[in-house]
């Protein structure tokens, strides 16, 4: 096995060697509920034999994932503990968890590099459900650009076809896709998901035929429809070179064509985007050579404070796969988590019982009032 993970230093070890041919990093983005995780699972299954994907989960808030991840952010950062310690809401907890993860970006990139040496041709990265948390946060940019300067990287935007049947929702998805394309500056592929529920032909028509979209728009009579009509003219250039593919993450339909589209996107990275990121790589190397060296600790009030989280090799039962681990933030035993879940379930059951009791008492009181009123009316009759 390669040298231990704990020996990886904070400086970017891989930058000096240039952009590699593998693994190809595939960032899976999309709106909440678009089916990203199910899509990721199906993509892994179809690519397993030929591309042996190295799988990364960057969603710290999910309870379970339907695939085996080689690197899981939940093993590095305890999402619940982050929310509790920093008094954050769900989105703030996700952003902070990603920020903590990016303090180990050099180590993460090194794990991806080693995966490529072990024969993993693809690295599939599942991102948080709240797309804006990843796409517009500093950590999202660090992860995206950090990978793109060392490996061929593409973006797959998962779009829910069924929800996009409304022209306004469709335009919202397209605007988000357009913004991600220009922000990441990477090859972009739109996966039109859930075609088992609704055919994606109307999406293709709306992208290629302005009049067809206008006809669908005429059926809506809302204030926002005027904005949608105007924006449809603006996105004509965006549609011209947009690579799309209809798929069903549930049934697996369309994934053969999707793999072909991904390979086309990789070729596009090599010809159009690699020179740009090669230039960025050289700039980073120049900065690291002339700039201050990263320190291993921060002095505060005379006490040394460790920088970031400690990493360790995977436990023996994980085989040859390498996982990121942060023992200081992972509960000491699974029993603690089970006890917390049991407490939460007990609280939820108690609240539900209290609610039902309140409703029942209210109904009983209302019935008593009606009975009393009826009795008074009967007594008042001659």
Which tens digits make up the pLDDT trace of 98-109?
A: 999 998 888 899
Residue 311 has pLDDT above 60, yes or no: no
203-210 contact pairs (CB < 8 A, 24+):
203/159, 203/161, 203/164, 203/170, 203/244, 204/244, 206/167, 206/170, 207/239, 207/242, 207/244, 208/239, 210/236
Return d(Cα 151, Cα 124) in angstroms, integer: 12
**Residue 337: predicted pLDDT:** 53
* Residue 82 domain-assigned (yes or no): no
**Is-contact 224 190, C-beta < 8 A?**
no
Residue 320 confidence (pLDDT) above 70: no
Q: Of the segments 93-97, 133-137, 228-232, which one has the largest average pLDDT value?
A: 93-97
Residue 346 lies in a domain: no
Is residue 151 in some structural domain?
Answer: yes
User: Regarding predicted confidence, which is higher, 267 or 315?
Assistant: 267
Residue 124: predicted pLDDT: 97
- Residue 169 belongs to some domain of the structure: yes
Rounded percentage of the chain residues whose pLDDT exceeds 90: 37
Q: What is the pLDDT of residue 15?
A: 65
Q: How far apart are CA 246 and CA 35, in angstroms?
A: 13
Q: pLDDT tens-digit profile of 71-94?
A: 999 998 888 899 998 999 988 999
The per-residue pLDDT for 44 is 96
Looking at residue 304, its pLDDT comes to 43
Given a cut of 80, whether residue 259 has pLDDT beyond it is yes
The pLDDT, as a whole number, for residue 137 is 85
Residue-level pLDDT at 169: 87
Provide the mean pLDDT of the chain: 80
pLDDT tens digit sequence for 18-53:
788 889 999 999 998 899 999 999 999 999 999 999
> 188 - beta bridge partners?
155
Number of domains the chain contains: 1
Indicate the pLDDT class of residue 291, thresholds 50, 70 and 90.
low
Confidence of residue 313 (pLDDT cuts 50, 70, 90): very low
Residue 124 pairs in a beta bridge with: 26, 55
Q: What is the pLDDT of residue 4?
A: 47
Q: Is the dihedral of CA 255, 55, 179, 184 positive or negative?
A: negative
Chain position carrying tokens 């990477």: 186
Is residue 212 one of the residues assigned to a domain?
A: yes
pTM: 0.74
Give the mean model confidence (pLDDT) for residues 329-342: 51
pLDDT at 217: 81
- Find residue 125's DSSP bridge partners: 27, 56
Higher pLDDT, 226 or 376: 376
Average pLDDT over residues 307-324: 43
> What mean pLDDT comes out for the span 211-236?
77
> Is residue 134 in some structural domain?
yes
The answer, yes or no, to whether residue 66 has pLDDT greater than 80, is: yes
Task: Give the chain's radius of gyration (CA, Å).
Answer: 26
pLDDT at residue 20 in the model: 86
User: Alpha helix (H) ranges present in the chain?
Assistant: 36-51, 79-86, 90-102, 105-117, 131-135, 138-148, 167-184, 201-208, 210-218, 223-234, 236-240, 255-268, 274-290, 334-380
For residue 227, the domain's CATH number is 3.40.50.300
**Structural domain includes residue 371:** no
User: Which of 51-55, 206-210, 250-254 has the least mean pLDDT?
Assistant: 206-210
pLDDT of 284 > 80? The answer is no
Top-confidence residue, 173 or 299: 173
Q: Which two tokens stand for residue 243?
A: 């690579």
Q: Provide the H-helix boundaries in 64-185.
A: 79-86, 90-102, 105-117, 131-135, 138-148, 167-184
**Chain-centre distance of CA 269, in angstroms?**
22
Classify each residue of 176-190 as buried b or exposed e, where b means 16 or more C-beta atoms within 10 Å of its C-beta: bbbebbeebbbbbbb
What's the pLDDT at 182?
Answer: 87
Q: In the prediction, which pLDDT does 14 show?
A: 56
**Would you state the pLDDT for residue 281?**
80
Domain-embedded: residue 143: yes
Domain that holds residue 194: 24-54+120-287
Residue 345: predicted pLDDT: 61
């Amino acid at each position: 096995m390669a040298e231990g993970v704990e020996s990886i230093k904070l400086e970017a070890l891989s930058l000096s060697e240039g952009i590699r041919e593998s693994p190809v990093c595939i960032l899976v983005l999309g709106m909440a509920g678009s089916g990203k995780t199910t899509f990721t699972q199906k993509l892994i299954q179809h690519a397993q034999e030929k591309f042996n994907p190295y799988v990364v989960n960057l969603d710290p808030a999910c309870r379970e994932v339907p695939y085996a991840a080689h690197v899981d952010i939940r093993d590095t950062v305890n999402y619940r503990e982050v929310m509790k310690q920093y008094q954050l809401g769900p989105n703030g907890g996700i952003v902070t968890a990603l920020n903590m993860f990016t303090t180990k970006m050099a180590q993460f990139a090194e794990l991806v590099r080693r995966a490529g040496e072990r024969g993993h041709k693809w690295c599939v990265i599942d991102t948080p459900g709240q797309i804006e948390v990843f796409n517009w946060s500093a950590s999202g940019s660090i992860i995206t650009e950090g990978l793109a300067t060392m490996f061929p990287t593409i973006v797959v935007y998962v779009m829910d076809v069924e929800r996009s049947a409304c022209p306004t929702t469709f335009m919202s998805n397209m605007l988000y896709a357009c913004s991600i394309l220009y922000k990441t500056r990477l090859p972009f592929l739109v996966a039109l998901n859930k075609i088992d529920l609704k055919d994606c032909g109307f999406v293709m028509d709306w992208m290629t035929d302005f009049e067809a979209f206008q006809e669908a728009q005429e059926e809506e009579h809302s204030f926002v429809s005027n904005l949608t009509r105007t924006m449809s003219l603006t996105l004509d250039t965006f549609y011209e070179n947009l690579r799309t593919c209809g798929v069903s993450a549930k049934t697996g339909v369309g994934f053969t064509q999707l793999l072909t589209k991904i390979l086309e996107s990789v070729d596009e990275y090599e010809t159009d985007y690699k020179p740009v990121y090669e230039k960025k790589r050289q700039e980073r190397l120049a900065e690291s050579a002339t700039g201050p060296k990263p320190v291993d600790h921060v002095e505060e009030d005379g006490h040394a404070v460790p920088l970031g989280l400690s990493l360790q090799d995977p436990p023996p039962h994980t085989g040859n796969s390498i996982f990121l681990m942060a023992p200081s933030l992972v509960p000491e035993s699974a029993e603690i988590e089970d006890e917390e879940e049991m407490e939460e379930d007990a609280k939820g059951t108690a609240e539900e019982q209290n609610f039902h009791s309140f409703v029942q008492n209210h109904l009983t009181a209302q019935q008593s009032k009606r009975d009393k009123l009826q009795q008074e009316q009967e007594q008042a009759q001659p």
